[in-house]
Chain A
Amino acid sequence: MIEAQKHEKPYINPYLGGMGLGMVLFFTFFVAGKGLGASGALTRMFAFTLNLISPSYVAGQEYLYKYVSSSNHVLYHWLTFMFVGVVVGSLVAGFRQRRMKVEMLKGPGTTNKRRIITAFVGGILVAFGARLAGGCTSGLALTGAATLGAAGWVFFLSVFAAGLAVAYLIRREWL
């Protein structure tokens, strides 16, 4: 078990946390017919920023242009509003539970330099995989699994299979 650090409050029970998360997900199903998500908001913010810098560049990129050219503003979306909520909710929990310390989290056997590389490369792959599959752990796996969606389950199993296999190869970074 990985426990919270000494200066922090202990983590809450994972089953209890999961039940809470499940109730929120049901709430969004019931009210909006939509689920949770995270990668969509990051993608929209990326398209938005790039479009501010160079609209002509974005106009030449089919994938990004889809986002900025729809009738609604690129940031006017279910998931970007949720992003705002996630940030505020994390801040509240972070301060209340004393988890706001500035730090680089990494495995005990690795260096800061290596961690910078793994974090960056991991981010690249996760973005690529999420855009390819059409969602991430929350939007596709969690939301999809709860609606019995085949796409969510296929994605979830693939993520876990690759994670377990690659974990062994990079065990120096985490163990």
Chain B
Amino acid sequence: MFTTQVQGVVDARHPTSVQPGRRKRRPGLAGYGFVSLYTLLLIAFGVGPALYAVYLAFVNADGQFVGLGQFVKVATDYRFAESFINIGGYVVIWLVTLLVLTVGLALIVHQRSRFVSSTLRFIFYLPGALAGVAGVLVWLFMLDPTTSPFSSLLHVLGMNSFQKVILPPNLPWLFVIIAFWIGAGGWIVIMYGALNNIPNEIMDASKVDGANAFQLAWYIQIPMISKWIIYMAVLAFAGGTQLFVEPQLLGNNISPTWSPNELNYVYAFANNDFNGAAALSLYLLLICAIGAFFLISRSGLFKVDDE
């Protein structure tokens, strides 16, 4: 890294002596300047606390090293398996719904006229403008047959009280609906942007070859935006496993430890066991890391073609 910097300075002083092609590859000092503030904040509020959690996970409240003790302790907690099963069910439904519907909707919107598509994009994006908690509060009313504008629909489904709506078997679906409503709009806009990046020549050539809308989407558009889709999957997977606000806000008739993150919260703030909470958070980190590694390595998301 040091040599790169020095060369960067030299390059700047003798611009003529350097081949234009090589200069492009070397980041200048300005680049470091741009990322420095972010890096500092990232270290202070992201990396720092994460490393502190790693430390906490291997010691007890007195600071003595306990090896994997905390990990064993939280894994044998009677709520551990249940919360991971809950979140597993949710994440599967969430990822499938998100991938299919956002890509599908983006494709449909992309084929509409400019006015229709921009209007639809705006409408899809709108709920995302509500911050997470506010969005969930909206759904507290939407899901309550007493206050919901869709109460007749809920009654038809046999849900004549809020408690019937939030019965355990319904929960993953409810959380998916809430998450989709809040988060999908942003992704539809991103997918739309990705679709715009596909060169017109390719689209035209396929049309000339007789591809219909479905073939166009399946053989041309989706493969060409696959990296964006994987990127969305990675982030949605990480976000999904961290579900917290939704189950927390839906009230007393839901287990206070429905999701691993809620269990984490109980460990830290109801049991005052920051060490156990740290161990639990590392489990989540591990799962996210494995999921992301699998998706990224299979898809070659970060592979830069050298040509």
Q: Report if A and B associate in a common complex.
A: no
Interface, chain B (partner A; CB < 8 A):
none
